[in-house]
Amino acid sequence: MNKVAVVMGSDSDWPIMQKACLLLEQFGISFEAKVLSAHRTPELMLQFARNAKELGFSVIIAGAGGAAHLPGMLASNTILPVVGVPIKLETLDGLDSLLSIVQMPKGVPVATVAINNATNAALLVISMLAIHNDQLAKAYHNYKDAMANESVAKNANLLF
Ligand code: RP5
């Protein structure tokens, strides 16, 4: 099974990024979680991005808040797919993080999910890995079926 890197700008991002890790764990996907800052440890960040494939990673989930340059800078330095998670900080509404991550220039894409939606980042990665993994594809189908059943069951809550 391919390994996923879950990186984030600070440990303060962990409560959100942990959701991606929990889902990857639930699907039996191996991953490594790591703090890596584009601003505070730029050399380490570059080193990681340039060696990520050789280290056995096939995709990177990167979360950051504020001037969130980590996902984009990783994408600039690797050909692995990078999924960006904008983290909402206390000062603004998260739009700062979202725009910093999603507004990449042509040629350097970051697949950006909604603000704080690390769960969708993990699901996007699961769908990528499931392309060549029938067992994972089946598990992902089951996940979606369960979600659909939960949604239908919500009709029972519309009481008046
Ligand atoms: C960003 O700065 C991090 O991704 C984090 O979201 C934000 C705040 O970091 P701390 O000051 O909490 O370490 O680079």
- Output the tens digit of pLDDT for each of the chain's 160 residues: 589 999 999 999 999 999 999 999 999 999 999 999 999 999 999 999 999 999 999 999 999 999 999 999 999 999 999 999 999 999 999 999 999 999 999 999 999 999 999 999 999 999 999 999 999 999 999 999 999 999 999 999 998 8
Tokens of 93: 């509404």
Amino acid present at 148: A
Contact between 63 and 10 under an 8 Å Cβ cutoff? The reply is no
Q: CB of 12 closer than 6 A to ligand 1?
A: yes
What contacts 2, CB < 8 A, 6 or more positions away? 29, 30, 56, 57, 58, 59, 129
pLDDT value, residue 21: 98
Instruction: For the chain, report the end-to-end CA distance as a whole number of angstroms.
Output: 49
- Answer yes or no: pTM beyond 0.95: yes
pLDDT value, residue 1: 53
- Give 112-136 pLDDT, tens digit per residue: 999 999 999 999 999 999 999 999 9
Pocket test for ligand 1, best of 89, 92, 98 (most atoms within 8 A of CB): 89
Q: CB of 64 closer than 6 A to ligand 1?
A: yes
- Distance from Cα 110 to the centre of ligand 1, integer Å: 19
d(CA 64, CA 37): 9
Q: CB of 87 closer than 6 A to ligand 1?
A: yes
- Distance from Cα 98 to the centre of ligand 1, integer Å: 14
- Distance from Cα 46 to the centre of ligand 1, integer Å: 18
